[in-house]
Structure 1
Amino acid sequence: MMPSQLDIIRADYFDPEHSSAIGALLNAYASGPMGGARPLSEAVQATVAGELGKLPHAATFLCYADEIAVGLINCFESFSTFKAKKLINIHDVFVANDYRGLGISRRLIAAVEALAIDRDCCKLTLEVLEGNTIAKKAYSNMGFNSYELDVVTGNALFWEKSLL
């Protein structure tokens, strides 16, 4: 499906249309194999944008294809202590199945990169699942690499401890 127009916009968390798109796109992401294959609760879908809006260093970009929300990227400003500069971590990247292969994720990441440059950040970071070979190839083609301080100590790993 080739849309006649693709628009990347910075989401307004308190705009009802944007808020609804964020909840719906995140639910589609969570429901798929790269999101854990479990849909989000209706409460999370309804409140996630407002909660993001409470965070001063959060940013979301949406992709609209012919006025239909088909992609999103959520990111958060953080800090690199080794560079003593801000960075932006890309937390979620999602493009609806019917719109993959059109360069939407590349355009979403370019929007985040422009934001990072505008904010004088030193780098972008992101996490990607080990088995997500398509995303890993795409990110590599966009200049991302695994994080490694020294070949002896190896690549950084992303761990979590759930508090819920």
Structure 2
Amino acid sequence: MPAAFSVRPADYGRPSDARAIVALLDAYASDPAGGGEPLSDFARSRLVPELASRPQAFSVLAFDGEAAVGLVNCIEGFSTFKCLPLVNVHDVAVLASHRGRGIAEAMLVEVERLARERGACKLTLEVLSGNAPAMRLYQRVGFEGYQLDPAMGTAQFLQKWLD
């Protein structure tokens, strides 16, 4: 498995990182796993400034040489039961041309390092049940279904859009 890639935290103030974040998230959004529709012009223009304005947000980029090929966006939350921060892995994206090379796993290792630096007690994420490759990756790196009591079952991710 070639490992000619590098991983590092994104710098929202660096124009090349900002362009990479938008391009990679747009590629992910356009992919069937991301919903199959490109980012809106509003999201393209506001994404990085909005992330930068939130101290609880951070991103990790992966590069093949100088080319950005992977992105993870994270948002810090709070565990009331532990009374500690947690980090939600909100987006995991690797360009189709670079999948299967360990890039997502390397980015998640960096996310875990950064989460530990923040004092987080856990990482959370959501994944579509039909995304078997992502599910295998997440299980391989230690993610599992969330439950407090087996009799109550595992947690389900729900959403309600606010218009």
Shorter-chain TM-score tier: over 0.9
Residue 155 of structure 1 aligns with which residue?
154
Within a 5 Å distance, the mapping from 1:33-112 to structure 2 comes to 33-112=32-111
Residue 30 of structure 2 aligns with which residue?
31
* Cα distance between partner residues in 2 of 1:47 and 1:125: 25
SS at match of 1:107: helix
Post-superposition shift, 1:2? Answer: 5.2
CA deviation map 1:118-146 (0-9, x unaligned): 12211111111111111101100101001
Give the gaps of 5 or more residues in structure 2.
none
State, as a whole percentage, how many aligned pairs show the same letter: 46
CA deviation map 1:52-99 (0-9, x unaligned): 001111000110101101000000111111111111110000000010
Where do 4+ consecutive residues of structure 1 move more than 6 Å?
A: none
Post-superposition shift, 1:14? Answer: 2.0
SS at match of 2:152: coil
Which residue identity does 1:127 align to in structure 2? E
Which residue identity does 1:116 align to in structure 2? A
Residue 22 of structure 1 aligns with which residue?
21
Residue 117 of structure 2 aligns with which residue?
118
- TM value normalised by structure 2: 0.95
Aligned residues: 163
- Larger mean CA deviation between 6-15 and 71-80 belongs to 6-15
The answer as to whether partners of 1:20 and 1:46 remain within 8 angstroms in 2 is no
Residue 138 of structure 1 aligns with which residue?
137
Which residue identity does 1:106 align to in structure 2? E
* Cα distance between partner residues in 2 of 1:2 and 1:141: 19
SS at match of 1:152: helix
CA deviation map 1:5-50 (0-9, x unaligned): 3111211112111111111101000000111001112331232111
The answer as to whether partners of 1:26 and 1:45 remain within 8 angstroms in 2 is no
